[in-house]
Amino acid sequence: MDRTHVQMLLASAGYYAGAIDGIAGPETMTAVEITEAHAGDGSGGWSTARRLVAAGQRVLNAQGFEARAVDGWDGHNTGEALTAWLSAQAGVSAEVDRAPITETTWPADIPRQGNCAAYYGSPGPDVQRQLTYIQLPFSLRLDWNLSQTVQRIRVHEKAAQQLYAALVAVHEHYGIDRMQDLGIDRFAGCYNHRRMRGGSSWSMHAYGCAIDFYAGPNALRMGCPEALFCGPDYQAFLDIMEAHQWLPAIRLWGGDAMHFQRATL
């Protein structure tokens, strides 16, 4: 999200009436301050760059495009929300094709996406009651803020054991230094109560059975060979995750290489 996008969003909400010139001048920052006053979240003390992104996130959320957390960090959720908003302004579809690319037979104990509500519960309070934290014996960096690390990941209790075992096995195979070199340690999100990007169904994240890594070069709309995780250095990573029932989206529907889920198509 650049400054031009922020100005467009602020203008769409009626907060800004200046030129869409990408310059964070007094009119733009006054509009940002209006969103901050409405939010009352103390974000006025953030850097200018974060304040601008946060203002854009607030408008996206208010208009139903689910940028989610208003944190001022331009992560992939914010990017996809912006893509959906820009597509809507242009009157074009942001839908993503998730048709299966293979006839692979997956283990019978992995639920299908269409059966996730029966297996994991209905998104919202039903799923939230069944979430648990897994505590990793090593740290992962936040993909959108590499100075911050996490060791706890919130996931559905029916998928937690498999994810813990998968990530420990990835760590044992690569070691933390190699994981950092490859970006495998860049955690880009797990549980998230939202709809599927480029679709209307509930996201697998809303069931607590999905996790994302290193979003930028493994984007939702990027397939092989462009996506970084298609490369040979990452095949062991994908193999380990798959062996522990966390299936790579790049092998399910040929895109969204950042994404792994404990659900088949």
For 199-214, the pLDDT digits (tens) are: 678 999 999 999 999 9
Reported pTM: 0.81
> Given a cut of 90, is residue 5 above it in pLDDT?
yes
Query: Is pLDDT at 47 greater than 80 in this prediction?
Result: yes
Three-state DSSP string of 89-105:
HHCCCCCCCCCCCCCCC
Given a cut of 80, is residue 104 above it in pLDDT?
A: no
Mean pLDDT over 133-137 rounds to 96
pLDDT at 228 exceeding the cut of 90 = yes
pLDDT of residue 30: 95
Rounded to an integer, the average pLDDT of 51-76 is 90
Contact 73, 51 (CB under 8 A): no
Torsion of CA 69, 72, 76, 81, to 10 degrees: 70
For residues 183 and 100, what is the distance between their CA atoms, to the nearest angstrom? 27
Residue 140 has pLDDT above 80, yes or no: yes
Tokens of 202: 């509930």
For residue 98, the tally of other CB atoms under 10 A from its CB is 18
* Cα–Cα dist 1/85, whole Å: 12
pLDDT, tens digit (0-9, with 9 covering 90-100), for 153-188: 999 999 999 999 999 999 999 999 999 999 999 999
Residue 119 has pLDDT above 90, yes or no: yes
> Over 90: is that where the pLDDT of 261 sits?
yes
H/E run at residue 110 = none
Which of 152, 263, 138 lies closest to 210 in space, CA to CA?
263
Which range is least confidently modeled, 83-87, 105-109, 126-130, 214-218? 105-109
Query: All domains of the chain, ordered by start, with CATH?
Result: 3-90 (no CATH), 113-261 (3.30.1380)
pLDDT of residue 221 exceeding 90, the answer is no
Q: Is pLDDT at 76 greater than 90 in this prediction? A: no
pLDDT > 80? residue 198: no
